[in-house]
Structure 1
Amino acid sequence: MTQEVRPELQFAVSATFTAEPIERVIAFWGRELDWEISVRFAPYNQVPQTLLDPAGLFAGNGNGVNVVLLRVEDVGGVDNAVEIARLAHGAPSRFSQPLLVVLCPPSPGRESEDLLAEKRIEEILREATGVQWMSHREISALYDVPVWNDPEGERLGRVPYTEAGFAALGTSIVRHAHSMRVPPVKAVAVDCDNTLWKGVCGEDGPAGVVLEAGRKDLHHFLLDQREAGILLCIASKNNEEDVWETFAAHPEFPLAKRHFATWRINWQSKAASIVEMAAELGIGADAFLLLDDNPKECAEVEGGAPGAMAVSIPEDPGELGPFLRHLWILDHPVITEEDRRRAASIAQSLDFNREARHAESLEEFIAGLNLRVDFQPLAPERLGRVAQLTQRTNQFNNSGRRRSESEIQALLSGGRWTCYTAEVSDRFGDYGLVGALLVERGEHEFYVDTFLLSCRALGRGVEHRMLASLAEAALDEGVYTVAIPFRETARNKPMRDFLASLEGASLEREGESHVLRLKAADLQALRWHPRAAPEALIERKAQPAAPRRFAGYARIARELRTPAQIVAAVRRRGVTPPLQQGPGAPESETEIRLARIWSELLEKPVASRSANFFDLGGHSLLAVMLLMRIREEFSVELSVDDVYAGSLTLGDLARRIDAQLMGLAGPSEYEDLLAEIEGLSD
């Protein structure tokens, strides 16, 4: 997989409570993912205003995600929360970036109204265009927070959640944004021996291998991925007969031969196997993920199959379930009907290719396809599928541009843009919505900003029918020219070859793109005649190297999958250089532990007992977080007055903590006790 280089990603947050503690969590994940991230907050509890303001924080977000954090009790109950959901439903037409609405946990005793609100909000937002919806129950299913609510933080600063709660909340937001913005995996290749089952089928015999509980989790996980549109493949160094006999000997296996789109079961390198399977399926090797128990095989695949990812699964099968649930690269923000039928569609495409190769006449074969292309303006409920095509389609893509639902909706709402879709079927089956055109309508031309066709519909003339239908629409509106820009990418040679085959085009250079302009009357008569492609109209340039991809998914799944692990990692990132030593440096155990907390919160070293929290950059919210951390670290309850004194130093605060730990009335009594102890003699 490859990861695009993107400009700074902005998380714009509007919450019904004090949500600033998630900033450190989001910033932490930005560093982990090597993303340039900024976090901005709307004014406290101003969610409706932020959703409605045409010049506000959400409307001004040009690259990122807009986030609403909603707690029902903060807005006066269920009806008001539902009204905010209705505002969110209609808001994306005003924004260029996707909107994520998160229902956050209620306070103890408010669970019933939270449940009622969740049901009503989900009904409103489930099918909303440009809006993603997430409940705290979904978050808790992935991140088990021992205690969500912090009554003292709520009382002190309307900070309702524990550090672990904010860690789960912030992580879920970043994880959701990641799933929307990183090019998806399209195929998972899996090893057999000691991966799909325990044992070696060639040595233990087909009946001798075992399916442990953890490996059964792997089977079910892969079936869920298949349901979400991922193609399942096998890459195994084995005798093929042994593998299929093993499946036949174990009808209790959730996975069966019919679930795999293709396989390479032989003794060649797995890198070569993945390259071959990618070619067979019509996708890039960089759309593959290998799951294997052997780290050496994983390293060879990443070195030998350009762009492919490989993950070494845990040795302990009991770890497989939790590990797999936290492989971020296999998250799916939206699952469409086309995703659910993808495995069947690929099987149809493979049947198509096999018959085409053996046909006596390609023209007769195509003529007998009974090809049907339903070309229509975009139906609102299919917007998610079109956005998904911009993310997934690489080969037949004229620009390589990726767009979210919100970005497409924003273009269409202006009145000058139209989106057309193509649903395709033939005698091999129904492929669903596989093509899209995003067109800017000018006075003198239709400008095809985006031209997409899924690879599984290539090679049968669908693209020709799409352009012919577009030309007819242009002529109906009195427009006589169709312009198609083309920007070469590492993967879109099929699009380049198609455009090169169009006769009668004029060619101009505009910025990074070549623009072909054709007469609509000529395009209206366009038909596909299978033959060799003509010489390229567009000069071929050297292909760029694949962008560097993120390589830390397995580490996240192993080391950063619980709130406690994330909290510890965020705290470690908060400490810059280690605590300094020397005159005036923290000495007592309490001073050293307190200095560590200050350093983590302030993200700078604390070198002196005389250091002042506010002089080092502390502010009111950090003071509240400091009180919460002191309570957690020392089991001591301090008041706001204990930390808000402008002259308070690290040493002063440590003495207040020690005094409480010793049951003394205050620092003065603590000082008297110290003086008495120092005055004692043998």
Structure 2
Amino acid sequence: LDNTLWRGICGEDGPAGVVLDAPRRRLHEFLLEQRNAGMLLAIASKNNFEDVEETFAAHPEFPLRLEHFAAWRIDWNPKSVNLASLAAELNVGLDTFIFLDDNPKECAEVASSAPEVLSIALPANLEELPEFLAHIWAFDHPKVTEEDRRRAMMIGRSLEFSRAARSAASLDEFIASLNLRVDVQPLEPERLPRAAQLTQRTNQFNTTTIRRTEAELAALAAQPGARIFTAEVSDRFGEYGLTGLAIVFTRLNELYVDSLLLSCRVLGRGVEHRILARLAEMALDEGVYTVTVPFVPTAKNAPARAFLDSIPFGACYEDNGGFVYRFPAVELQTLRWAPSAAAPAVPERPATPAPAVRSFAGYADIAAALRRPAQILDAVRREAAAGREAPQAGTFSSETEERLAKIWSELLQKPVTDPAANFFDLGGHSLLAVLLLMRIREEFGVELSVDEVYSASLTLGSLAAAIEARQLGAADPEEYQALLAEIENLSDEEVRALLERELGQEE
């Protein structure tokens, strides 16, 4: 907060003594834009809460108000400790956090103690702050749904629910008083963006964690015997929107649940029981008497397995490293949650494995050093090299893979002949990821999201498939679109002049 959201230290300068200057006002506005796009705001500050509360009250001109923050930890604990506490309260993983601070030492402490967190130190020259923020890829939102816009409000309702549940005399009585409503309906075309978003974001209650795009869901829904159902949830605390999804296939004498997933903000109230019971009713209506649910374990989806294990009937067997649950539909249609007889709906979060060093490497560097055309143009000139050894013919299954392999070979300065090759294992890094995005757009005429390229699991084959499936978009800033033409048309003399002019401005 101090010297981040305002200039000054509220505990020393007093609540009225801090100042909101122009760069920090832009930070306020930027954070509000992120909140409206679905991100949650939280505070981890070494301060006295009373001083912070009085500071917000003393400055009605602040665009950000204390109520815009979903939660806060304002005390003298290390910020990494408070981030872990915030993650537990908000029921999200530390790997979803972006930590902004004006103090590089605080960022270093968080990066060391909580490496899952993307920790970014703001520029010392605050005049650069607006441009710096605009070039942090982690804040990009290719598509914002209505649920995103309402997310902060709905998370607030979830927190209100959790606090009320903890203070209730009896959990059974509390659940009975919820007036829970779960509306399970076939997926409507206009809800495809939200449905795809659920498959891509949901980790804890997700039986198979298969990620799907809008196009893939639409194609799936058109298959014979396939259906997709959505679940909209509300209770006495309010509406939570489209928070559940089930993808099912009717196969001979069974209803096969390909994917069952539920947003973590509606866990712990029996929603999953209602959805599975409704699917069983549908199965019986069609003369099908078995509901089959495959489960593929991951590091994060223990809550989904705990739910399946808690169902007191049916059978389970191992299958290719996962499990298959088979339930009699007649019994499953009566499934209801009995809190006093069940294990906690959301078990303790397992420790998150230490991420690879490259997970967040370069985000701040990109924002600081690759946000202007001249900077990227210089990087292109330095990194691009001609005459690389071409991949061996016949290795790849498509022309796209062959063309993409040539690009990888040029950027990585080594031959790439295996579709399963990992970009970062071969020496890729943040700068090369920037160049790769540009080369893909130039070569294939498609726009890829940052997540599709800047991923630890990026392989040549998966990227080629994404290129073939992607339609044209317009996610990149205009300056990068104009840059492609500059790269091709500028002479060496023009490049030198451009760089000299840019460096002179920066000094």
Cα 1:516–1:365 shift into 2, 3 Å: same
Does the residue aligned with 1:321 lie in a helix, a strand or coil?
Answer: helix
Displacement of 1:413 in angstroms is 2.1
The residue aligned with 2:60 is: 251
Distance 1:258 1:526 in 2: 39
Are the structure 2 counterparts of residues 535 and 405 from structure 1 closer, same or farther at C-alpha, using a change threshold of 3 Å? Answer: closer
1:493 deviates by: 1.6
Partner-residue secondary structure (3-state), 2:247 = strand
1:515 and 2:330 equivalent? no
**Residue 371 of structure 1: aligned partner:** 180
Q: Quick one: which amino acid aligns to residue 207 of structure 1?
A: A
Structure 2 distance, partners of 1:304, 1:276, is 13
How far 1:507 moved relative to its partner?
1.3
What amino acid is the match of 1:514?
A: F
Consecutive unaligned residues in structure 1, runs of 5 or more: 1-191, 578-599, 605-620, 636-682
1:280 and 2:92 equivalent? no
How far apart, CA to CA, are the structure 2 residues paired with 1:369 and 1:220?
A: 36
Q: Is the 8 A contact 2:172 2:340 kept in 1?
A: no
Specify the alignment match of 1:333 in structure 2: 142
- The count of aligned residue pairs is 400
Question: Given the alignment of the two structures, is residue 318 of structure 1 paired with residue 318 of structure 2, yes or no?
Answer: no
Aligned equivalent of 1:675: none
Sort the Cα spacing of 1:210 and 1:465 in 2 relative to 1 into closer, same or farther, 3 A: same
Query: How far did 1:511 drift?
Result: 1.3
- The aligned counterpart of 1:221 is 30
* Aligned mate of 2:362, from 542, 549, 552: 552
- C-alpha spacing 1:634/1:506, structure 2 compared with 1 (3 Å): closer
How far the C-alpha of 1:439 sits from its partner, in A, is: 1.3
Cα RMSD (Å):
2.7
Greater Rg over alpha carbons, structure: 1
Q: CA deviation at 1:576?
A: 7.9
Supply the distance in 2 between the matched residues of 1:418 and 1:369 (Cα, whole angstroms): 30
TM-score, length-scaled by structure 1? 0.56
Query: Does 1:469 pair with 2:278?
Result: yes
1:360-386 Cα distance to aligned partner (Å, 9 max, x none): 111111111111111001011111101
State the AA in 2 paired with 1:279.
A
Call closer, same or farther: CA 1:631–1:270 in 2, change over 3 Å: closer
- Give the deviation of 1:416 after TM superposition: 2.8
Deviation at 1:631, TM superposition (A): 7.8
2:261 matched to 1:448?
no
Residues 435, 267 of structure 1: CA spacing in aligned structure 2 closer, same or farther, 3 A cutoff? same
Displacement after TM superposition at 1:492 (Å): 1.4
Structure 2 counterparts to residues 143-222 of structure 1, below 5 A: 192-222=1-31
How far, CA to CA, are the matches of 1:207 and 1:625 in structure 2? 50
For residues 256-279 of structure 1, the C-alpha deviation after alignment (integer angstroms, 9 at most, x for no partner) is: 111010000000011110110111
In 2: Cα distance, 1:494 partner to 1:627 partner: 52
Tell me the amino acid that sits aligned with residue 68 of structure 2: H
| 1:472-513 deviation line (CA, Å, top 9, x unaligned) | 111112211111111211111211211110122211222131
Q: Aligned match of 1:414 in 216, 223, 244?
A: 223
Query: What residue identity is the alignment partner of 2:196?
Result: A
1:327 Cα deviation (Å)? 0.8
Measured against aligned partners, the alpha-carbon deviations of 1:548-605 in whole angstroms (never above 9, x if no partner) come to 513211111111112221111111101489xxxxxxxxxxxxxxxxxxxxxx99x89x
TM-fit CA distance, 1:445: 1.4
> Structure 1 counterpart of 2:372, which letter?
T
Q: Which residue of 2 aligns with 1:562?
A: 372
Query: Residue type matched to 1:567 in 2?
Result: L
List aligned pairs for 1:360-439, cutoff 5 A: 360-439=169-248
Whole-angstrom distance in 2 between the partners of 1:282 and 1:634: 50
Q: Which residue of 2 aligns with 1:92?
A: none
Aligned-partner residue type, residue 47 of structure 2: N
SS of structure 2 residue aligned to 1:531 = helix
Query: Judging changes above 3 Å, is the alpha-carbon distance between structure 1 residues 435 and 332 closer, same or farther for their aligned structure 2 residues?
Result: same
Return the alpha-carbon distance in structure 1 between the equivalents of residues 134 and 44 of structure 2. 22
- Whether the aligned pair in 2 keeps the contact of 1:398 and 1:451 (CA below 8 Å) is yes
C-alpha distance in 1 between matches for 2:65 and 2:19: 15
Aligned to 1:628: 489
* Uncovered stretches (5+) of structure 2, i.e. residues with no partner: 388-409, 415-442, 444-484, 497-507
| Distance across 1 between alignment mates of 2:49 and 2:317 | 53
Q: Which amino acid in 2 is paired with 1:451?
A: L
- After TM superposition, the structure 1 = structure 2 runs for residues 89-168 of structure 1, keeping only pairs within 5 Å, are none
Distance 2:352 2:34 in 1: 32
2:159 is paired with a residue whose SS is helix
- The amino acid of 1:457's aligned partner reads V
Per-residue CA deviations over 1:148-177 (Å, capped at 9, x if unaligned) read xxxxxxxxxxxxxxxxxxxxxxxxxxxxxx
Paired residue type of 2:308: L
* CA shift in 2, pair 1:240/1:572, >3 Å: same
Contact kept, 8 Å, 2:377 with 2:487, in 1: the verdict is no
Once the two structures are TM-superposed, the CA of residue 283 in structure 1 deviates from its matched residue by: 0.8
Cα–Cα, structure 1 residues 625 and 295, in superposed 2: closer, same or farther, change >3 Å? closer
Q: In the TM superposition, what whole-angstrom CA distance separates every residue of 1:342-400 from its partner, at most 9, and x where no partner exists?
A: 11111111111111111111111111111111100101111110111112211111122
The letter of the residue matching 1:255 is L
Contact preservation (8 Å) 1:490, 1:546: no
Task: Judge conservation of contact 1:500–1:534 (CA < 8 Å) in 2.
Answer: no
Aligned to 1:297: 106
Confirm or deny that 1:503 pairs with 2:312.
yes
Q: Structure 1 residues 256 and 628 mapped into 2: Cα distance closer, same or farther (>3 Å)?
A: closer
By how many angstroms is 1:421 displaced?
0.6
Match of 2:334 in 1: 525
CA distance in 1, matches of 2:5, 2:385: 42
- Structure 2: which amino acid aligns with 1:574? A
How far is the alpha carbon of 1:423 from its aligned partner?
0.3
Distance 1:477 1:308, change over 3 A: same
**What CA distance in whole angstroms lies between the structure 2 residues aligned with 1:535 and 1:273?**
24
In the superposition, relative to structure 1, how do residues 628 and 289 fare at CA in structure 2: closer, same or farther (>3 Å)?
Answer: closer
Q: Write the distance in 1 (CA, Å) between the matches of 2:25 and 2:367.
A: 18
DSSP 3-state at the match of 1:497:
helix
* Mapped contact 1:480–1:520 kept (Cα < 8 A): yes
**Cα distance in 1 between the residues matched to 2:131 and 2:212:** 32
Aligned partner of residue 339 in structure 2, secondary structure: coil
What is the rounded CA distance, in whole Å, between the counterparts of 1:212 and 1:440 in structure 2?
Answer: 58
* Superposition deviation, residue 542 in structure 1: 10
Over 3 Å counting, the alpha-carbon distance change for 1:437 and 1:236 in structure 2 is same
Q: What residue number does 2:152 align with? A: 343
Distance 2:486 2:70 in 1: 52
The more displaced of 566-575 and 245-254 is 566-575
Distance 1:632 1:407, change over 3 A: farther
Q: 1:278 to 1:514 in 2, by over 3 A?
A: same
| Alpha-carbon distance between aligned partners in 1 of 2:89 and 2:34, rounded to the nearest angstrom | 20
Quick one: which of 66, 71, 75 aligns to 1:262? 71
Amino acid at match of 2:315: S
Runs of 4+ with >6 A deviation: 624-627
Whether the 8 Å contact between 2:2 and 2:8 is mirrored in structure 1 is yes
Note the alpha carbon deviations across 1:236-272, whole angstroms, 9 max, x for none: 1011111111111111110011101000000001111
In structure 1, C-alpha distance between the alignment counterparts of 2:14 and 2:326, rounded to whole Å: 64
Deviation per residue, 1:105-143 (Å, 9 max, x gap): xxxxxxxxxxxxxxxxxxxxxxxxxxxxxxxxxxxxxxx
Change (3 A) 1:414 1:633: same
Q: Is the 8 A contact 1:497 1:533 kept in 2?
A: no
